[in-house]
Each structure stands twice: as structure tokens, then as C-alpha cells.
């Protein structure tokens, strides 16, 4: 559904690709609003940069949520951890029935059970640490727009290969973004690989 609008992937100095998505029959059936989304991914010497801009092209206001569904490989989920401003933050624990909002007591999150949590206000710098191969760790630098963090792991699900990955997602979810006609919202994040 996305169309490449600018392919600079062969540019040796600043390789990047820009893609665009606008409403169509399929999106209108799911979410009846007119929009334009522009997603740019660029590769720098030491990082991957992602920028998403959403514009309301409709004649009415609407709100939305957004997430980068980033899956990170790890040598062993039992030796991986996530660091950031988690301690004291509120998070929606979607593994509870019904989902429950709780205060986080940990500053470092380890995976030891199935997790699907939305941490409100946790952005800035978040680190996914590979305890076996620290050089495969990733620092997530939320520069603008992304206000929350989602942690997800199908821990224990052998069929999904749970031991080898986890999701640490930059999101705008706790407070949906409202846009009036003609307004835009822009987010930016950088992923920096290497030992933390």
C-alpha cells in the first residue's frame, strides 16, 4: 500500500528511502478518514533514522495513534533487558483481563513472562540490551513525536521463537494525537547499534 516517492538508497553519503500512504478503499473501510502519511528511513554512518509525518487531508478533525513495530533480535531473551525512564511510570498491562494500569517499580525491565505493556510518558532514550552479545544492543533515541514505549514478548511461545527477539516500540498511544484539517504531526527516532 505504501508507494516509494523518493529512493536515495544508492546515495553513498546519505542513503534513504521515502514512502507515502494516502487513504484508499481499504483504509477507508477500516478507518474512514482522509490522510497522508510520509515515512522516511535514512541510514547514517552509525545509526538508522526514521521520520513519520501524518497530515490530515480531510475536511474534519480526527485523532489517531501510531507505533513503530520494532522487533529486535537477541541472543537469549532471558539475558536481555530494557533500560529507560520506566521506574515510577504508569503502564497499561494488556496481559491482564481486563487490561490494568499499574505503576512500574523497576528501572530495568527483564523478560520472564509474556509481556504486552504500554508505558505512558516513557520516551527519550530507551536501550535494548543483549546480555550475551552487548555489541548487538540497540539505543533507541526518540527525538520528537513519540511519547510512549510498548514492550511486547510472546515469552514461552516456542512456535514464535520467543527466545530470540522482543519488541521495544516507539509509540504515540496513551494520549491520541488530534489533527484539525490541514494539520500535521511529525515523529523522529534514531536507532544506534552497539554496546550500551
Domain ranges in the chain are 3-193
Of the candidate CATH numbers 1.25.40.10, 1.10.1740.10, 3.40.50.720, 2.70.98.10, the domain formed by 3-193 belongs to 2.70.98.10
Helix (H) or strand (E) run with residue 90 in it = strand 90-93
CA dist list (Å): 28 to 33, 36, 50, 104: 6, 13, 26, 38
pLDDT in tens, 16-27: 999 999 999 999
Q: Assess whether pLDDT exceeds 90 at residue 9.
A: no
pLDDT in tens, 41-87: 999 989 999 999 999 999 999 999 999 999 999 999 999 999 999 99
Amino acid at each position: 500500500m505504501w508507494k516509494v516517492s523518493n529512493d536515495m538508497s544508492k546515495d553513498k553519503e546519505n542513503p534513504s528511502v521515502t514512502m507515502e500512504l494516502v487513504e484508499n478503499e481499504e483504509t477507508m473501510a477500516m478507518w474512514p478518514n482522509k490522510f497522508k502519511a510520509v515515512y522516511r528511513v535514512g541510514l547514517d554512518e552509525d545509526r538508522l533514522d526514521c521520520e513519520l509525518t501524518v497530515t490530515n487531508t480531510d475536511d474534519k478533525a480526527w485523532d489517531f495513534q501510531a507505533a513503530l513495530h520494532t522487533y529486535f533480535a537477541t541472543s537469549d531473551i532471558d539475558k536481555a533487558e530494557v533500560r529507560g525512564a520506566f521506574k515510577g511510570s504508569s503502564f497499561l498491562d494488556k496481559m491482564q483481563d481486563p487490561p490494568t494500569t499499574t505503576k512500574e517499580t523497576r528501572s530495568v525491565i527483564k523478560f520472564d513472562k509474556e509481556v504486552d505493556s504500554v508505558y505512558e510518558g516513557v520516551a527519550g532514550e530507551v536501550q535494548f540490551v543483549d546480555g550475551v552479545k552487548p555489541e548487538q544492543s540497540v539505543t533507541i533515541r526518540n527525538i520528537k513525536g513519540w511519547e510512549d514505549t510498548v514492550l511486547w514478548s510472546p515469552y514461552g511461545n516456542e512456535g514464535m521463537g520467543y527466545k530470540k527477539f522482543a519488541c521495544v516500540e516507539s509509540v504515540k498511544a496513551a494520549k491520541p494525537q488530534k489533527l484539525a484539517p490541514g494539520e500535521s504531526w511529525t515523529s523522529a527516532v534514531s536507532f544506534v547499534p552497539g554496546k550500551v
